[in-house]
Amino acid sequence: MSEVYRDEVPAHLRTTAQLRSSGRRPVDPGKAAAWLERVFDGDVWRTALHDVTATTPLPSSPPRAPEPARATTSPAREESATWARDVLADRDAVVLDTELTDFTGRVIEIAVVATDGATLLTSLVDPEGAQINPYAQRAHGITAQMLTGAPTLEQLWPKLDHVLRGKRVIAWNAPFDLTRLRAEHRHLFGDADLPDWLTGPWLCAMRKHAAWVGDRNTKGGGFRNHRLEGGHRAEGDCLAALAWIKRMADTAPGTEAHAGTGAHAGTGAHAVAGAHPGAVTTGAPEPDLATIRELWPQVLGKVREHSRSLEAMLGKAEPAVVAGRVLTIRHPSAVVGRRVAQSQNLGLVNAALTALLGLPWTTRVAPHDPGA
Which pLDDT does position 7 carry in this prediction? 65
Which pLDDT does position 71 carry in this prediction? 45
Beta strands in the chain (DSSP E): 3-5, 13-14, 24-26, 34-40, 43-51, 55-57, 93-100, 107-114, 119-124, 168-171, 203-204, 318-323, 326-330, 362-365
Which sign does the torsion angle of CA 169, 172, 173, 177 carry?
A: negative
Q: β-pairing, 203-204 with 43-51?
A: unpaired
Nearest to 28 by CA among 16, 12, 41, 10: 16
Residue 41: left if φ>0, alpha if ψ -120 to 50, beta else—which one? left
Beta strands in 145-294 (DSSP E): 168-171, 203-204
Q: Which residues contact 203 (CB under 8 A, 6 or more apart)?
A: 83, 87, 93, 168, 169, 170, 171, 174
Which pLDDT does position 283 carry in this prediction? 45
Asked if residues 84 and 77 have their Cβ atoms less than 8 Å apart, the reply is: no
Q: Which residues contact 47 (CB under 8 A, 6 or more apart)?
A: 15, 35, 36, 38
Burial of 81 (0-12, 13-18, 19+ CB in 10 A): buried
d(CA 219, CA 90): 35
Burial of 261 (0-12, 13-18, 19+ CB in 10 A): exposed
Per-residue H/E/C for 171-213: ECCHHHHHHHHHHHHHHHHCCCCCCHHHCCCCEEHHHHHHHHH
Domains and CATH numbers, the chain: 3-57 (no CATH), 65-271 (3.30.420.10), 274-372 (3.30.300.180)
Burial of 253 (0-12, 13-18, 19+ CB in 10 A): exposed
Asked if residues 141 and 109 have their Cβ atoms less than 8 Å apart, the reply is: no
β-bridge partners, 365? 329
| Tens-digit pLDDT string for the chain (372 aa) | 578 877 677 878 888 777 776 778 888 887 888 887 766 445 556 778 888 888 888 876 555 455 454 445 789 999 999 999 999 999 999 999 999 999 889 999 999 999 988 889 999 999 999 999 988 888 888 999 999 999 999 999 999 999 999 999 999 999 999 999 999 999 999 999 999 999 978 999 999 999 999 988 777 678 988 888 767 889 889 988 998 999 999 999 876 543 333 333 333 333 333 333 334 343 445 678 888 888 898 889 888 888 888 888 898 899 988 887 888 999 988 888 888 888 778 888 888 888 888 777 888 888 866 665
d(CA 316, CA 336): 10
- DSSP code per residue over 31-44: --SEEEEEEETTEE
Q: What are phi and psi of 155, to 5 degrees?
A: -70, -35
Which pLDDT does position 178 carry in this prediction? 94
- Cβ contacts of 314-323, under 8 Å, gap ≥ 24: 314/340, 314/349, 318/293, 319/289, 319/292, 319/293, 320/289, 320/366, 321/63, 321/289, 321/366, 322/287, 322/288, 322/289, 322/292, 323/63, 323/65
Q: At what angle do helices 174-189 and 205-213 cross, to 10 degrees?
A: 170
Asked if residues 80 and 211 have their Cβ atoms less than 8 Å apart, the reply is: yes
β-bridge partners, 47? 36
Burial of 182 (0-12, 13-18, 19+ CB in 10 A): middle
Q: Which residues contact 161 (CB under 8 A, 6 or more apart)?
A: 195, 197
d(CA 262, CA 270): 9
